[in-house]
Structure 1
Amino acid sequence: MPGDVSKYSSQTEDKEEVEMSIMASRDPDHDSAPTAPLIEREDDQRETRNTPQTGGGNAFIWTLTLAACIGGLLFGYDTGVISSTLVSIGTDLSDRHLTSLDKGLITASTSFFALIASPFAGFFADRLGRKSIIIFSDILFTAGALWQAFTTSVWGMILGRSVVGLAIGGASMIVPLYIAELAPGHLRGRLTTVQLLLITGGQAVAYIIGWSFSSMPGGWRWMVGIGAIPAITQIFMLALMPETPRYLARIGQEEKARQILRKVYRNTTTDLTFTVDTTLAAIKKEILEEEDASTLLKQTTESPSSNKFVAGLTSLLTHPPHTRALVIACLLQGLQQAAGFNSLMYFSATIFQSLGFTNPTLTSLSIALTNFAFTVVAFYLIDRLGRRRSLLYTIPIMAVSLLLAAVMFRFVDLRGTEGAPAAQAGSVQPGLPHYLIVVALLLYVSSYATGLGPVPWQQSELFPLSVRSLGSSLSTATNWGLNTIVGLTFLPMMQGLTPTWTFVVYAAVCAVGWLAIWWCYPETMGMEIEEIGGLLQDGWGVKESMERLKRLKRAERRSGIGG
């Protein structure tokens, strides 16, 4: 106990020194400085300090973002290519046509193993660094792609997809965390959305490659094998990428963190030294505060543990601000999958095959291209319209689109079920209801890509540094858990419930999710990552965040007039 008291006293003194350094850096000459990372209660102070940085970033931050987001390209390619692969395999695996169970297992194995990998990715990211986990994911991507290309059995394909799932589980959690910890506050949403751009771009590329190889005997092997190329490329690019300044500060490499922050904020602020100093001081203050909270938690817990994972999990489940962050992140990630989007990514070619389209892979390309195009729209809107409003505006459109598809499915005769060859599926001549289903799905995809696609991946900004990796891991695991369920249940639901009621279920999920978001998701647009925890300190922070947004808009207008 004396050692604990001494440690706690030392942390308190360190925190006071950090607070004094922050106060000392704020003099009247810095009234017009860009966003500082700490929340103050006084309206006039907050308005001044929430004036955003300017500009679109610099070459350093964009190079890091694009290099990191190759993981998103791999993620998108491997989730998109399976749609074309499933309708191209024929009898190449185990000398028989794939059944619905085969397709479900091949598809769901990826998301199931992504679910397994994501919590471990967060655990190791805190010990080995964010960059190391991305490299390891690339190695798994390469191994999984090559295994799929050479396998001759259904279970071999499932194994290859499982290895890819481990890679996707790591990359899908670490890449947005890496970007969030590097990005300036006014660009964080946009830079994180770059990953979504490459994910959707990867899906579009997968459909194009799938279409190109669909008529070639054994062409599906090229479809899955090509996925190794960007993984190998990223491994070499990672040699030039630094760790995040927040991770470096946490492990005591403060000078390296400072050097990276100077590169990150260059050309985005008129006072680089002030911005770097206040950001680094805020990071250090957050680290000390979380260490204080961890020490107090151990002192008040009946079975105190020195295990950081157990301590972090306990904090996420029992400390109200952390619990609220976890609830929001898991809600968004769960809703993203429960709304059924990945049923289109995995089975769009199967759906269009059963609707009678002669080239289902080419028809599926319209889904992927729409997804990519509207992710570009999200890239420009997410730091202008905001996270909360993006969801509240687009989810109702998703629900209406799903209901339209549900109604149209009542007027079509589906073919090509349970292992039927593609020729049988093409025997149905598409009519108006078939094309209206395509239109409804395109409308659904466009609204999804503008809101529910990118926003959940802003999850890292909700958590303080001490639980950021673990919290992001758990919410990402929620994503992949629901993804697995969707992959396993979509085709059985289509056969058992009928397509109409399957799409009605997804529409109902959208409606319930919209109400939950309206109730508990605050607006975090433009806030520094160390600020956001203050919103969740005493509640969900929805009202406070919207009032803050109004003040920020007023400050921007005054700044524009003054400039």
Structure 2
Amino acid sequence: MEHTNEDTAPDAPLIGEREGAEPHNPSLHLRSFGNTFVWALTISACVSGLLFGYDTGVISGTLVSIDTDLSSRKLTNIDKGLITSCTSFFALVASPVAGVMADNMGRKNVIVVADGLFTLGALWQAFTSSVWGMILGRSIVGLAIGGASMIVPLYISELAPGHLRGRLVTVSLLFITGGQVIAYLVGWAFSSTRGGWRWMVGLGSIPAIAQLVMLTFMPETPRFLARVRKDADARTVLSKVYRGMVPDTTEIVDGIMLAIRKGLLEEEEAHLQLKSSDSRSALMPPALHSLLFHPPHTRALIITCTLQGLQQLCGFNSLMYFSATIFQRLHFSSPTLISLTVAGANFLLTLAAFGLIDRIGRRRILLITIPVMVVSLLLCAVAFSYIRSAPADHFDVPTSSAELPSASRLPALGILFALLLYVSTYAIGLGPVPWQQSEMFPLSVRSLGSSLATATNWGSNTIVGLTFLPMMDLLTPTWTFVSYAVMCSVGWVAIYHIYPETMGLGLEEVGELLKHGWGVKESMEKLRILKSQRVE
């Protein structure tokens, strides 16, 4: 259901009210779509998402355009696997480091570091002349992506009003998918230019430099400011966030600050109790110890890592990295242009997710869309089984431009249709929902928990990047896509049992769901109450 001005959910829980209480709630008068300040901050932060999407998408067209420009030879499958997987591997390395940096130097400063790495990595790739130089450039970009992919959703979620949080975090996904579309357009534009791939990768430096300028005007998040006891600055930012949404921001700002302080005190007390009863606490940082051994935090970590792992192990980024390779193997006349349709579908359906995620809810979207993904993957597997007569014994890209046998053209179109259906349902559900991860963690462990979940994403991404082409060779395309379908099915079962609905809840309220269990039944009951309040 769409939030209206009568929503009681967005920020009332931040005041720490018990269920059933009926105090005055200033958020009753919140305007649905926020103000200029909130949207300006969101868009400025999301430039990192644009870079994330561009640098993951541009490699698809780059791989089929390099030819013999690197190390004076054609790229092998091993070269391609290393060039793609090194990015995700170093994103995996950067994610937990970025979490620690976010707690020590602030959310905003992590974005600054990421921009510097984006610029350096893009220019390094553009001027390298060897395969290993390309791998180094992609590794630098991977460090930037790892930091940006963790910090941007966290930054937005800590700034966003509760009733807009899902939508605003999804905006970062729109920028990611938009970046992928731009990458494919640039790839197509330079695909027939000798050495055009250098322009493809080098242009990624421009948005990074632009965002460095924008960061001059961006504040730190109020929750980080409150955590480092800069309460006056936190109140100033919160007042700007809620300006125009309520007649007087004082009451709602007071309530949020009270809830933040209350949450920090409760977390500190819980940590002291855990520390006194567990001798292992002296061997690791407090936040990590709490995530691993304090049950509510551990449940949040399990949920977020499960979602992020599933997002990658379902095989989606194999399409982002190797879609042009797949379509060239199927002898489409313009594989990069065909890949653009995949990226375009991803972008357009992420727009749908923007409208649905705070209406239908995170949990329900996943439970609806993942079965469609399974069907799409199985359709793709069946279609691939009819293209066994295609030339070449391996899935490596042939240099010949010969057409597939006419009997294989229809299955090739079937593969394109199945992949578009798969990407469309992924973009609505499994694409944006895992990036709502920050809302699952309380403030004391939010950045570290988010970084570990993001590291799970990139670890799984690395596995997919390294194994996709070998699986296509060894297992055949049919069984490769069947394996991804099985992974989606297992993930659906896990989501059904452990993922609560967080739509409309304030950040400080979400943690209440996980105190004594997975909170699935409790969250659905809260959703029923919320819907009944809207009807009234």
TM-score scaled by structure 2? Answer: 0.95
Q: Map of 1:342-381 to 2, 5 A cutoff?
A: 342-381=317-356
Q: Per the alignment, in what secondary structure is the counterpart of residue 530 of structure 1?
A: helix
Whole-Å Cα distance in 2 between the matches of residues 507 and 66 of structure 1? 35
Distance in 2 between the 1:235 and 1:48 partners?
38
Query: In the alignment, which residue of structure 1 is the partner of 2:309?
Result: 334
Distance 1:40 1:545 in 2: 16
2:141 corresponds to = 164
TM-fit CA distance, 1:314? 1.0
Matched, 1:493 2:468: no
8 A Cα contact 1:36 1:49, kept in partner: no
| Aligned positions of 1:410-559 closer than 5 A | 410-412=385-387, 413-415=389-391, 417=394, 420-424=397-401, 431-558=409-536
Could you tell me which amino acid in structure 1 is paired with residue 66 of structure 2? Answer: I
Structure 1, unmatched stretches of 5+, are 1-30, 559-563
Instruction: Tell me, yes or no, if structure 1 residue 236 matches structure 2 residue 210.
Output: no
Q: In the superposition, relative to structure 1, how do residues 414 and 142 fare at CA in structure 2: closer, same or farther (>3 Å)? A: farther
TM-score scaled by structure 1?
Answer: 0.90
1:90 counterpart residue number: 67
Seen in structure 2, the aligned counterparts of structure 1 residues 525 and 97 have a Cα distance that, compared at 3 Å, is same
Give, in whole Å, the separation in 1 of the partners of 2:67 and 2:535: 61
Shift of 1:87: 0.5
The counterpart of 1:397, out of the listed 351, 358, 372, is 372
Name the counterpart of 2:4: none
In structure 1, C-alpha distance between the alignment counterparts of 2:461 and 2:488, rounded to whole Å = 15
Q: What is the Cα deviation at residue 295 of structure 1?
A: 2.5
Letter of the structure 1 residue corresponding to residue 473 of structure 2: Q
Counterpart of 1:79?
56
CA deviation after TM superposition for structure 1 residue 291, in Å: 1.8
1:64 aligns with 2:38: no
Alpha-carbon displacement from aligned partner over 1:195-230 (angstroms, at most 9, x marks no partner): 000000000000000000000000000000000000
Distance, in Å, in 2 between the alignment partners of 1:43 and 1:539 is 21
After TM superposition, where is structure 1 displaced by more than 6 Å over at least 4 residues in a row?
46-50
Contact preservation (8 Å) 2:15, 2:258: no
- SS of the equivalent of 1:276 reads helix
The structural deviation recorded for 1:271 is: 4.5
The CA distance in 2 between the partners of 1:36 and 1:266, in whole Å, is 20
Query: 1:415·1:425 contact (CA, 8 Å) conserved in 2?
Result: no
Q: Which amino acid aligns with 1:141?
A: F
1:210-359 matched pairs, under 5 angstroms = 210-302=187-279, 304-305=281-282, 310-359=285-334
Corresponding residue of 1:8: none
Counterpart AA for 1:216? T
User: Is the alpha carbon distance of 1:304 and 1:360 closer, same or farther for their aligned partners in structure 2, counting shifts above 3 Å?
Assistant: closer
Q: Is this contact kept in 2: 1:97–1:419, CA < 8 A?
A: no
Whether the 8 Å contact between 1:51 and 1:555 is mirrored in structure 2 is: no
Q: Distance in 1 between matches of 2:533 and 2:281?
A: 47
The count of aligned residue pairs is: 526
Q: 1:415 to 1:65 in 2, by over 3 A?
A: farther
The aligned counterpart of 2:164 is 187
Q: Does 1:55 align with 2:32?
A: yes
Q: What amino acid does structure 2 have at the position aligned with 1:541?
A: G
The answer to whether the aligner puts 1:112 opposite 2:89 as a matched pair is: yes
Change (3 A) 1:389 1:33: closer
Q: Deviations over 1:163-188 (max 9, x none)?
A: 00000000000000000000000000
Aligned-residue offset at 1:299? 2.8
Compared CA separation, residues 511 and 490, structure 1 to 2 (3 A): same
CA distance in 2, matches of 1:397, 1:162: 34
Q: Which whole-Å CA distance do the structure 2 matches of 1:421 and 1:401 have between them? A: 26
The aligned amino acid for 2:340 is L
The aligned counterpart of 2:124 is 147
- CA separation in 1, counterparts of 2:24 and 2:424? 35
